[in-house]
Structure 1
Amino acid sequence: MGKDNVIADASKKNLGSHTLTCPTDEAVKEFKYMRQAVAFFIGGAGDKESYYGFGPKYNVDRARKPFAESVKLAIWAAGVTSYHLGYNEVIGDEKIKANVLDVICKSDAVYIVGHSLGGWNGAHLSSYLAKLGYSVKVLVTLDPVGKGALVGSISNIYPDTPQPSAGLWVNVLAQSSDSDMSDWIAGIGEQWRLESGPNVNSVMDVNHESAAIMFTTVLADGKSALNYVINSLNKHFRGEV
């Protein structure tokens, strides 16, 4: 069910904390509500599991590690959970229910970071959740792939182009000056090249497989995709819209 390597234990929703009150004490006691946030890091072909003999490479999970380190430094760390999922674990009602809906609440802030085919299906997931009333705060697509007819015929991805729905959408396109095998594979899948749509749209001289570099490298506006996610989490836990 994709619940491995969570940052915080999601088996128990932290609804708040309070001090036990003596039965004879009629004074009003303070109750602190703990907000919750859930981040889904969705990998592409050969990321979490083998893809026709290729992988697993755990590329997007490498991007999740700096996220985990940043979260540990925050006072709200206990309110954040993250999951590493494969692109084929977030498509279709049954899989989305098991891997996504069963671990989030309507009041949770949701973050989606998708790489390669995971960026394609993750973008679809953002609109799926939004239609159900969930709040997708930030969508990050790291060199999303899925436009090609060939990859669509051999991979469990949505056939139509995503129409993402998120409070903020950050997209990074990999365009390496020193191509490797991962760039060749991405070329077969056909990169989703976006001229409009994302709030932040960047091109980076990096190989397709380098999800962590795309996620953590500072962009032209002085922030990385990771910075955008952490800043949004800060606002969420401060109660800002």
Structure 2
Amino acid sequence: MGTDNTAANDKKNLGSHTLTCPTDEAVKQFKYMRRASAFFIGGAGDKESYYGFGPKNNVARAKKSFDDSVVKADYFPGVTSYHLGYNQVIGEENIKLNVLQGLCKSDAIYIVGHSLGGWNGAHLSSHLSSLGYSVKMLITLDPVGVGALVGGISNIYPDTPQPSAGLWINILAKSSDANLSDWIAGIGEQWRVESGPNVNSIMDVNHESAGIMYTTVLADGKSALNYMINSVNKHFRGEM
């Protein structure tokens, strides 16, 4: 599933044993530990080239901020993060291969999607929820996908997402100093969400700046990263 590793695998020695689902009946030497999986889903030209543009690894910057925070925590062996492209989370076969393969129903699931990855990531949240998985949080960073043109040239869902998550944070980029990434996002058309998110914010930032959107403190005094780390903390304390 994906190509990324658990944050700071080498900080503690877990021997030759791996963390498993509680339904796994094989004999293990370690007591079952809570687990969390975070999927960082990039947009066009993020993880792979998009018509000659990229890869830029924009959402990987957000993932690194999360990984760095997790490394400092005692629970880090139970947290795994993945960097995926938007076209890796659409359709049953892709989801089975890139998302479901290492999950069990008791895992806490976090989805962070940028641009087209926000659009497909929002769809992924509802799909996983319908299968009985616990999507604790969905974070959409300047999601794009409304336009008919982008739908014709990109592997995205044609219908507007109906997200399903314990908490949904949405951030719309509206830069006072637009650059090429804002122009490209304009072609795809931003998904201007008017209702649904628990936290809905507009930020003066360029479309490409996924890492900045993820780590910048919002009006309520917390960043999307803060929300996510706090939720993971509660999950491992058994509070949610």
TM-score normalized by the length of structure 1: 0.91
Give CA-to-partner distance per residue, 1:178-202, whole Å, 9 cap, x none.
Answer: 0000000000000000111000000
- The answer to whether the 8 A contact 2:19-2:33 is kept is no
What per-residue deviation string (whole Å, max 9, x for no partner) do you get for residues 171-229 of structure 1?
A: 00000000000000000000000111000000000000000000000000000000010
Structure 2 segments unaligned to the other structure (5+ residues): 10-16, 23-27
Aligned length: 229
| Contact 1:8 1:80 survives alignment (8 Å) | no
Map Cα deviations across residues 72-123 of structure 1 (whole Å, 9 max, x no partner): 1111111100000000000000000000000211110000000000000000
More moved, 51-60 vs 103-112: 103-112
- Asked whether the equivalents of residues 6 and 77 of structure 2 are also in contact (C-alpha less than 8 Å), the reply is no
Q: Tell me the C-alpha RMSD between the 2 structures.
A: 1.9
User: AA paired with 1:45?
Assistant: A
> Which secondary structure does the structure 2 equivalent of 1:223 belong to?
coil
Output the amino acid matched with 2:206.
N
Aligned to 1:41: 40
The structure-2 alpha-carbon separation of the partners of 1:187 and 1:97, relative to structure 1 and needing over 3 Å to count, comes to same
Give the corresponding residue for 1:23: none
- Answering whether residue 212 of structure 2 is matched by residue 213 of structure 1, we say yes
Partner of 1:166: 165
C-alpha distance in structure 2 between counterparts of 1:198 and 1:36, whole Å: 25
Cα separation, 2, equivalents of 1:51 and 1:233 = 33
- Runs of 4+ aligned residues of structure 1 deviating over 6 Å after TM superposition are none
Q: Distance in 1 between matches of 2:123 and 2:31?
A: 35
Aligned residue number for residue 98 of structure 1? 97
1:177 is aligned to: 176
SS of structure 1 residue aligned to 2:184 = helix
- Residue number in structure 2 paired with 1:27: none
Match of 1:13 among 4, 8, 19: 19
Q: Which amino acid aligns with 1:76?
A: Y
Partner Cα distance (1:14, 1:88) in 2: 28
Structure 2 residue 134 is matched with structure 1 residue 128? no
Please tell me whether the aligned partners of residues 5 and 84 of structure 1 are also in contact (alpha carbons under 8 angstroms).
Answer: no
- SS of structure 1 residue aligned to 2:139: strand
- 1:8–1:79: 8 Å Cα contact kept in structure 2? no
> How far, CA to CA, are the matches of 1:78 and 1:71 in structure 2?
9
SS in structure 2 of the partner of residue 234 of structure 1: helix
Aligned to 1:28: none
Check conservation: 1:3, 1:99, Cα contact below 8 A. no
Looking at structure 2, the residues matched to 111 and 185 of structure 1 have their Cα atoms a distance apart, in angstroms, of: 27
1:230 aligns with 2:229: yes
Paired residue secondary structure (1:46): coil
What are the ranges of 5 or more consecutive residues in structure 1 without an aligned counterpart?
21-30
Cα separation, 1, equivalents of 2:233 and 2:134: 15
SS of corresponding position for 1:66: helix
Aligned residue runs from structure 1 range 139-150, under 5 A: 139-150=138-149
Partner Cα distance (2:5, 2:213) in 1: 21
Of structures 1 and 2, the larger Rg is shown by 1
SS at match of 2:234: helix
Q: Which amino acid aligns with 1:142?
A: L
